[in-house]
Structure 1
Amino acid sequence: MAHTDDRDRRDRTGRRGSGRRPAGPGGHGPAATRRALRREAPSTVAVVADAAGFTAMRRYRTFAFADHHTYLRQTEGLLRSLTAQGIHTRVGLFDPADYEHFCVQERIDPDTPDSRTRYVAEVAATGATVRYRGQPIGRLLPLLLDGWERQDTWERATELLAGLGPCTDCGEDIGAAALDEAARLLVRITGSAGPGTHHLVCSVTGETGPLVAVLHTGSAPRGAPAPPAPATGGGAAEELVFRAVLAAGIATERPGGVVMRTVRGGGEDGGEEVRGWSLTGGRLRPLSEAEVFSAYCTDARTGEPVPPEPGLLYRAGFPLSRPGTADGPNSADGPDGPDGPEEEEKREGREG
């Protein structure tokens, strides 16, 4: 048993002490020190977002929630409590099917709180989380779903690219070469699109379902305020996934396409415009104005025509091929030269 007498309770100046433990940082005691350390230990909370997933979790005896609405309300209360304590908190998606697969791989019992905790730690490690900033749970769930879908798409696309191996003729890694080409094409598209905010969608057919990636990018016109950051906070992650999906279409030569919707916020036309490219045989072919109009004004599920959007301009996609290739005269007369996409459209109109 430890023993302390008066001689032990003297400080370095020789004065008698109070017998209390040394003060923590800022003159606070042990409890305050622990609270300070707790604020520096981040937390991750994983949420079962939809009712179907919640029903699947209820088969576990140790999952102590009976109502999804109450569960979400209590989760929001936990998040607010952590934030009030100054704790950096991130939120991820708790996917019951993925959780079951995780438990099988780790050979652990899924019906324990410890197993759920280990799964949440795995979710945190993947980075498929968003920072909690006090937003209501109803606004948070769509962000989580977007992040989860982006992560899933990234894994499927990169797994596909990694499995292609080297080219039998030149020995070059097919997936790596496709990623380089996808990066070049993305720079070409965004660099030629001009000022404004751009919403790009790339879709590629896949064996286990379509691969779809979304990217928000762009710049404000001169003198206009800068465009807001994407609501999902995806940023660089969006771009990586977009390039991976486009590379998957290039490498496998599966059909797909890219659509770019632009909000000018100024300029001579103003309003919004849309352009498109068809991904065929591993190459992006610009769609004509009529093809873009047809694609946008046709219901993808039924094939029935839908009315055009008021104020939306349907533009032809501009060529993206390298100089001297067969897909189009895109050398010195490219978007950085005298005959950029707008001049090319005007020339085609005169020739037509």
Structure 2
Amino acid sequence: MREMERDMNPCCEDNRASDLVLNILGVLDDGVHVLTAMAATPDGPQITQAVVEYRPGYSGIDFEGIAEIVRVLAMTAGEGTGGLIVRSGKGMIGRRVFGWHIGDLVAEPIGSSELFSAYCSDPSTGEPTPPPPYTEYAKAPTLR
């Protein structure tokens, strides 16, 4: 039935993408977070970013940026693929990086070793490079 609903309701992808983004925002701790979303399309990759800051008594959300993330992730509905990476401030100088592969608006956590390989390799040679100081590559939490 849900498959049939998706086919009949073109805004369903936007609703599912909104739910996905809300789930992602719900797992973020206090700190400054840069979210980068990407969807592979026939016209090339679509990429966008948004910044979110949580601290006690304050939430700063780039609503326009989050709306763009929803738009880009909605492109992964059906056979589409993409991903979302979060770079979180950790204390004064540390960073934590985690993310998800996105396919048909389902998020699968990316493992820490896969993230490390992707971000700590020379793009032209594939050779390993040292990670930036104080950066932790972590497996993303499983989303509901």
TM-score (norm 1): 0.37
Structure 1: 5+ residue stretches without partners: 1-166, 322-352
Indicate if the aligned counterparts of 1:253 and 1:282 stay in contact, CA closer than 8 A: no
What are the Cα deviations for residues 252-286 of structure 1, in whole angstroms up to 9, with x where unaligned?
A: 432211100001336xxx72101011123442100
Query: Whose radius of gyration is greater, 1 or 2?
Result: 1
Secondary structure of 2:20's partner? helix
State the Cα distance separating 1:208 from its structure 2 match: 1.2
Residue identity matched to 1:297: C
What do residues 87-119 of structure 1 show as CA deviations (whole Å, max 9, x unaligned)? xxxxxxxxxxxxxxxxxxxxxxxxxxxxxxxxx
1:304-324 Cα deviation digits (max 9, x unpaired): 433211100111011113xxx
From 301, 312, 331, the equivalent of 2:135 is 312
Aligned-partner Cα distance in 2 for 1:304–1:284: 29
CA RMSD of aligned residues (A): 2.6
- Whole-Å Cα distance in 1 between the matches of residues 99 and 124 of structure 2? 19
Q: Which residue pairs with 1:259 in the alignment?
A: 85
Q: 2:70 aligns with which of 237, 243, 261?
A: 243
- The equivalent of 2:45 in structure 1 is 210
Give SS of 1:318's match: coil
- Percent identity among equivalent residues? 28
Query: Cα distance 1:289–1:205, how it changes in 2: closer, same or farther (>3 A)?
Result: same
Please report how far the alpha carbon of residue 299 of structure 1 lies from its aligned counterpart in structure 2 after TM superposition. Answer: 4.0
Deviation at 1:302, TM superposition (A): 5.1
Q: Equivalent residue of 2:13, what SS?
A: helix
Deviations 1:106-141 (A, max 9, x none): xxxxxxxxxxxxxxxxxxxxxxxxxxxxxxxxxxxx
Cα distance, 1:193 vs structure 2: 1.2
Q: Number of aligned residue pairs: give it.
A: 142
Q: Kindly indicate whether the alpha-carbon contact (under 8 Å) linking 2:17 and 2:105 is maintained by their aligned counterparts in 1.
A: no
The 5 Å alignment of 1:122-161 reads none
Preserved CA contact (<8 Å) 1:190 1:218: no
Is residue 172 from structure 1 mapped to residue 20 from structure 2 by the alignment?
A: no
Alignment of structure 1 residues 26-105 onto 2, 5 Å: none
Q: Structure 1 residues 281 and 184 mapped into 2: Cα distance closer, same or farther (>3 Å)? A: closer
Structure 2: give runs of 5+ residues left out of the alignment.
Answer: none
The one-letter amino acid of 2:43's match is T
Instruction: State how far apart, in whole Å, the 1-side matches of 2:123 and 2:50 are.
Output: 21
Please say if 1:285 is aligned against 2:96: no
1:6-40 alpha-carbon deviations (Å, 9 max, x no partner): xxxxxxxxxxxxxxxxxxxxxxxxxxxxxxxxxxx
Find the counterpart in structure 2 of residue 103 from structure 1: none
More strand by share: 2
Partners of 1:312 and 1:265 in 2: how far apart? 11
CA deviations over 1:202-249 (Å, ceiling 9, x no partner)? 1111111110010101212x49xx68x79xxxx322111110001111
Give the direction of change, closer, same or farther, for the CA distance of 1:258–1:302 in structure 2 (3 Å limit): farther
| Equivalent residue, structure 2, for 1:297 | 120
1:184 is aligned to 19
Tell me the equivalent position of 1:272.
95
Which of the pair is proportionally richer in helix? 1
Partner Cα distance (1:254, 1:300) in 2: 24
SS at match of 1:193: coil
DSSP 3-state at the match of 1:169:
helix
